[in-house]
């Protein structure tokens, strides 16, 4: 999740809660703020969300993506604290930030040692440059972000045979539980993790891993959902 980022204007409360520094309560506040005020237009608006303090902002803001934002860096993993550095890089190259993003020819001309500050050293600058040059995650375009199935809002919306995106939120000796965007998590038994024998669940899945699952059984009364990853 945190390596890909999420679209704050479309993500559900459940999905937002996985962002570093956010959690369930702040995720609920973000969704409520979005409902009342409309879509977020820039990352700074996060500071207006009730109870979202500076610490949570600093931890989570780089994992938030805002598509079609005025500042293209709002749709990247570059932290807002580093925006002035990127702007200076672009200015030194006599181009705009938008023209710099994914422009490998121009990015190769950047010497990170010229932009060292007391807060950001060479290694941090190299990470920023690496983010700028990613052609597959060009912040000027619509980045691929994880989203739950919008049609599934409660266990009542589930049907046997449905294939859904999910996030592994618990691992046990007998399988793993997967969040599919509703209150109840579904169980993928160890025998359903993949075709063939599995001796260790951790060899197949990791915590917070994005997976695709099929619904095999639903027990509304007991609030239990059985899933499989053998599609």
Which two structure tokens, joined as six digits, stand for 37? 């005020």
Contacts 24+ apart (CB under 8 A), 116-121: 117/85, 119/81, 120/81, 120/82, 120/85
Domains, the chain, ordered by start:
1-66 (1.10.150.310), 68-144 (1.10.150.310), 155-228 (2.40.50.140)
List, as one string, the DSSP characters of 78-98: --GGGHHHHHHHHHHTTS-HH
Q: Write phi, then psi, for 222 (nearest 5 degrees).
A: -95, 0
In whole angstroms, what is the distance from residue 177 CA to residue 226 CA? Answer: 9
Least confident of 29-38, 124-133, 134-143, 203-212: 134-143
Q: What is the pLDDT of residues 150-195, one digit of tens each?
A: 899 999 999 999 999 999 999 999 999 999 999 899 999 999 999 9
- 175 forms beta bridges with 172, 189
Question: What number of residues does the chain have?
Answer: 231
In whole angstroms, what is the distance from residue 132 CA to residue 88 CA? Answer: 14
Q: Calculate helix-pair angle for 122-132, 83-92, nearest 10 degrees.
A: 70
Average pLDDT over residues 54-67: 92
Average pLDDT over residues 37-44: 94
Helix (H, G, I), strand (E, B) or coil at 219: strand
In whole angstroms, what is the distance from residue 173 CA to residue 164 CA? Answer: 23
Q: What is the pLDDT of residues 130-150, one digit of tens each?
A: 999 874 444 444 445 678 898
pLDDT band at 15 (very low <50, low <70, confident <90, very high): confident
């Amino acid at each position: 999740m945190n390596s890909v980022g999420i679209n704050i204007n479309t993500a559900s409360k459940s999905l937002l809660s996985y962002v570093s520094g956010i959690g369930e309560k702040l995720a609920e506040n973000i969704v409520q703020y979005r409902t009342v005020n409309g879509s977020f237009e820039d990352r700074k608006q996060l500071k207006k969300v009730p109870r979202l303090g500076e610490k949570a902002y600093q931890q989570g803001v780089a994992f938030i993506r805002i598509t079609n934002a005025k500042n293209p860096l709002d749709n990247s993993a570059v932290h807002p604290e580093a925006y002035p550095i990127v702007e200076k890089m672009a200015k030194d190259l006599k181009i705009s930030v938008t023209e710099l993003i994914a422009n490998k020819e121009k990015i190769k001309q950047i010497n990170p040692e010229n932009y060292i500050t007391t807060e950001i050293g060479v290694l941090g600058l190299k990470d920023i440059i690496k983010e700028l040059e990613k052609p597959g995650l060009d912040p000027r375009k619509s980045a691929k972000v994880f989203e739950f199935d919008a049609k599934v809002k409660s266990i009542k919306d589930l049907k046997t045979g449905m294939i859904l995106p999910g996030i592994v939120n618990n691992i046990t000796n007998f399988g793993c539980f997967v969040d599919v965007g509703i209150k109840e998590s579904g169980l993928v038994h160890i025998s359903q993790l993949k075709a063939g024998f599995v001796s260790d669940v951790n060899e197949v899945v990791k915590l917070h891993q994005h997976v695709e699952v099929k619904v095999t059984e639903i027990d509304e009364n007991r609030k239990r959902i059985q899933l499989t990853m053998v599609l």
